[in-house]
Structure 1
Amino acid sequence: MTSLFFLPRHLMTLLLGLLSAILIAESAWARGLCVEDDKQREVCMAQPAQRIAALSPGATELIYAAGAGEKVVAVVSFSDYPPEAKQVTSVGSHTRLDLERVVSLKPDLVLAWGTGNPSEQIATLERIGLTVYYVEPHDFEDIADNIKDMAILSGTEGAGFKAADDFLAGIQALADRYQSAAPVATFYQVWDEPLMSMNSRHYISKVVTLCGGVNVFADSPRLIPRLNQESVLIKNPEAILAGGMGERNAKWLEKWRAFPELLATQRDNLFFIPPSLIQRPTPRLLDGARIMCEKLDVARQQRG
């Protein structure tokens, strides 16, 4: 057998590199620091993350929920919850990152938004050797899994697993309460210009269903369909719910008052939900779900 000492230098370097990678992976598995992200990629850490970059407001909320907020060294604009996150260094917006700033903060774990961050920028971070975990939850279980995964990667399993379990318990309580509720044809407005909603695969649609609502655009082929006012008029929902451009800005709903033929308008079933509670897939979605369920109950009561 040829001795390793007689291999060419470049082959020796390659072999040692592969051996090192194998040992690191085995060490990660032994420590239980391997998880699967929302792109079904295996993500492993040789030791718990100490410096974390959260590249979406939702990812920021999730990592704080996982109990690792003190380890966050980078966030993006609109990362406003919990309040402590506003004191963390911003590295741009989720749509355009300051890569030089990200790298200078030396994160050992990057939480990337799969469909929100620029793919080429995240690929660059991976190429230079940073560990990336993709966040893209589509239902309640995904949110809980994200929290648990982040807790495993950060070594904060106690806090993270409790937060995830509490969230799912709250969701189950709503499911039990509204499982026999009378259905309400519901239009949830994701955006105003262009007008947008969501199909049945989106987590907000799952909140509608949880509360006994029926998403009138559930069968749309697109996750976030672009609509026009006529399409909403044709669906004639009994309730219209929307967020807005701020936590107290219900301006989007006022436009529907111009259509008295809409059942939702006739019955004054135009309901505002603070967008950060419903449009971020985080534990606070439970608070948004409770509000939505209460609003749909009002719609039921107004049937006369």
Structure 2
Amino acid sequence: MCKFLSPVVFAGVIVMTGLAGHAQASITVTDDLGNQVTLTKPAQRVISLSPHVTELIYAVGAGERIIGTVKYSDYPPQAKNIPRVGDNRQLDLERVLAMKPDLLIVWMHGAYERQLETLRQSGIPYFFSEPHKLENIPETFIKLGSLFGTEKQAQVAAAEFRQQIQQLSSQYQNKSKVKTFYQVWGKPLYTLNDSHIVSDAIRMCGGENIFGKLPVTAPVVSTEAVLKENPEAIITGDSKTQEVSGIEQWKTFPSLLATKNNNLISIEGDLVNRSGPRIIEGTKLICQALEQARQKREVKK
């Protein structure tokens, strides 16, 4: 056997070595807490710990890799068949660990924090997802596409979402402001400040969140505080299971500007409260509602 490789064979070895090195290259992205998440290969067994995360994963073409999720992960429809590992209060940690996921995608809130510490110690890689602005959604698509190796579909989803943001921005950026109250829940009366993605959607539409400057992301406010601010529009995200809209309580205050002008707007909650791909549809509904409020001003003139 010849000690030396021919130039053609040698070149082939170099190419194959390069391909092998590429195949083994690790994947690293930065999550929404600023932490680097590194995988040795694209994730195949993921657990989604939030409904909005489930929607994001499907949007980048990796829905079939979700082996577990939480209650209310119901979109797209096939997500309803995914095994549940808990709800928004409690996770079944034993089941999560027994499923042997190679990636967790989580949304942090008070009820999960202690449990997530246990999962961190298990060594399972996790990606924290909490987009605060509409423009963060396409960025998340790209990151998840890298983690799953579905870059092509992620790029398409990101481009489509960015295009819709640009269309809304160009349509509404120069519109007059509409003082807006966003109601998360009626009793107690919860709202959102400007750090939440819903406020970014309101801003995109030319609205001004009357409680945007409050320091807490989801503060409790009083009815008196809302009446004092006298918003021109009140928007709420209703649950699909609600029999009576939370917006109804404001009809008992006929002097409130939003009530007087019939600007009490109810939108399907999943389209606005979930920081996922469908929030662009919720944003369009907010924009339409605020534009109608502006048109009612013109009529009154």
TM-score by length of 1: 0.87
Matches within 5 A, 1:146-161: 146-161=140-155
Q: Which of 106, 109, 125 pairs up with 1:112?
A: 106
Matches within 5 A, 1:86-125: 86-115=80-109, 118-125=112-119
Report the secondary structure of 1:38's partner residue. Answer: coil
| Partners of 2:136 and 2:207 in 1: CA distance | 21
Q: Which moved more, 1:264-273 or 1:194-203?
A: 194-203
Partner of residue 177, structure 2: 183
Instruction: Give the residue type in structure 2 aligned to 1:189.
Output: Q
| Partners of 2:222 and 2:80 in 1: CA distance | 36
Partner of residue 174, structure 1: 168
Q: Which of 276, 290, 298 pairs up with 2:284?
A: 290
Q: Which of 215, 219, 223 pairs up with 1:225?
A: 219
Against the structure 1 CA distance between its residues 231 and 125, is the aligned structure 2 distance closer, same or farther, given a 3 Å change threshold?
same
Partner of residue 135, structure 2: 141
2:126 is the alignment partner of 1:132: yes
Report the secondary structure of 2:225's partner residue. Answer: helix
Structure 1 position 161, deviation (Å): 1.8
Report the secondary structure of 1:194's partner residue. Answer: coil
Structure 1 position 144, deviation (Å): 1.8
CA contact (8 A) 2:24 2:41 kept: no
| Partners of 1:245 and 1:46 in 2: CA distance | 40
Moved over 4 A (4+): 27-30, 247-250
Structure 1: runs of 5 or more not aligned:
1-26
Structure 1 position 250, deviation (Å): 5.2
Structure 1 position 29, deviation (Å): 11
Partner of residue 251, structure 1: 245
CA contact (8 A) 1:185 1:214 kept: yes
CA contact (8 A) 1:28 1:44 kept: no
Q: Residues 177-223 of structure 1: CA distance to partner in whole angstroms, max 9, x if unpaired?
A: 00111211111111212111111221111111111111111111222
| Partners of 2:39 and 2:88 in 1: CA distance | 24
Partner of residue 78, structure 2: 84
Instruction: Give the residue type in structure 1 aligned to 2:79.
Output: A
2:158 is the alignment partner of 1:164: yes
Superposition RMSD on alpha carbons, in Å?
1.7
| Partners of 1:246 and 1:30 in 2: CA distance | 46
Partner of residue 211, structure 1: 205
Structure 1 position 244, deviation (Å): 2.0
Q: Which of 246, 249, 254 pairs up with 1:260?
A: 254
| Partners of 2:244 and 2:233 in 1: CA distance | 15
TM-score by length of 2: 0.88
Instruction: Give the residue type in structure 2 aligned to 1:49.
Output: A
Against the structure 1 CA distance between its residues 28 and 269, is the aligned structure 2 distance closer, same or farther, given a 3 Å change threshold?
farther
CA contact (8 A) 2:239 2:268 kept: no
CA contact (8 A) 2:174 2:206 kept: yes
Provide the aligned length of Structure 1 versus Structure 2.
278
